[in-house]
Amino acid sequence: MGFESPAAVVPLLKRLGYESDFKGAFPQEAEPVSPGNYGKALQAYEETLITPAPFDRYLAGEEDALSLEQKEGLKLFSQVGCAECHRGPLLGGRGLRKFGVEKEYWTATRSERKDPGLFESTQVESDRYRFRVSMLRNIARTGPYFHDGSVSDLEEAVQVMADVQLGDRLPGPQARAIVVFLESLTGEVPRHYRKPATVPGVH
């Protein structure tokens, strides 16, 4: 995370007054403030940053958690092929896939720069335009969209995906139903979440 070495985090944590918290969290250890424990503490915090959404209540069996239109959108999302790539509990986030299966992505996003994706670091031709499949949790709140933020409207982002990844734009009502379904992935932010600027020592 930008430190010169893992050990460099130790004096910083001590200076910021974290020593007694680390002693409390790792009471058996002679040197509780260590890079390993720093990693464990960060992981434990990040594991609490989940945002349960209506979609989760639906998956748990609560039929009414989604509106009829959202259920229709969910059906379309899997029927037209979105779920081939956006799958798992985060609806994406796992593999890397080509952005531009059916046509060059920048013709649809109007991106100024043609980012070669994974190819930039591997120089392997089959990695050209490969990007991480975005997770779609909280997608209605996290625009602008794509790796370069080239599209700001969610319905347009859905249409770009249909066009570029599946070969054709969708009829308007279908794209809107998918957007309404995607809104069911907006969850509640945990009450203990703090923006980085309000954490001591981070500016």
Measured between alpha carbons, how far apart are the two ends of the chain, in Å? Answer: 15
CB 111 within 8 A of CB 104: no
Does 129 bind ligand HEC (CB under 6 A)? Our answer is no
Q: Which of residues 83-112 bind ligand HEC (CB under 6 A)?
A: 84-86, 97, 99, 101
Count of residues that interact with ligand HEC, criterion CB under 6 A: 24
Task: Decide if 141 contacts 186 (C-beta within 8 A).
Answer: yes
Q: Which residue reads 């990040």 in tokens? A: 46
Per-residue interface string for the shown chain with ligand HEC, residues 49-88, x marking contact by CB under 6 A:
-------------------------------xxx-xxx--
133 interacts with ligand HEC by CB under 6 A: yes
User: How buried is 148 (Cβ within 10 angstroms: 0-12 exposed, 13-18 middle, 19+ buried)?
Assistant: middle
Q: Which is nearer to ligand HEC, 25 or 50 (CB)?
A: 50
Residue with tokens 């591997």: 122
- Smaller CB separation from ligand HEC, 33 or 85: 85
Stretch that binds ligand HEC, among 20-28, 38-46, 140-148, 189-197 (CB under 6 A): 140-148
∠ CA 178-181-184, rounded to 5°:
155
Amino acid occupying residue 187 = G
Which residues form the interface with ligand HEC (CB under 6 A)? 80-82, 84-86, 97, 99, 101, 131, 133-134, 139, 142, 145-147, 157-158, 161-162, 165-166, 178
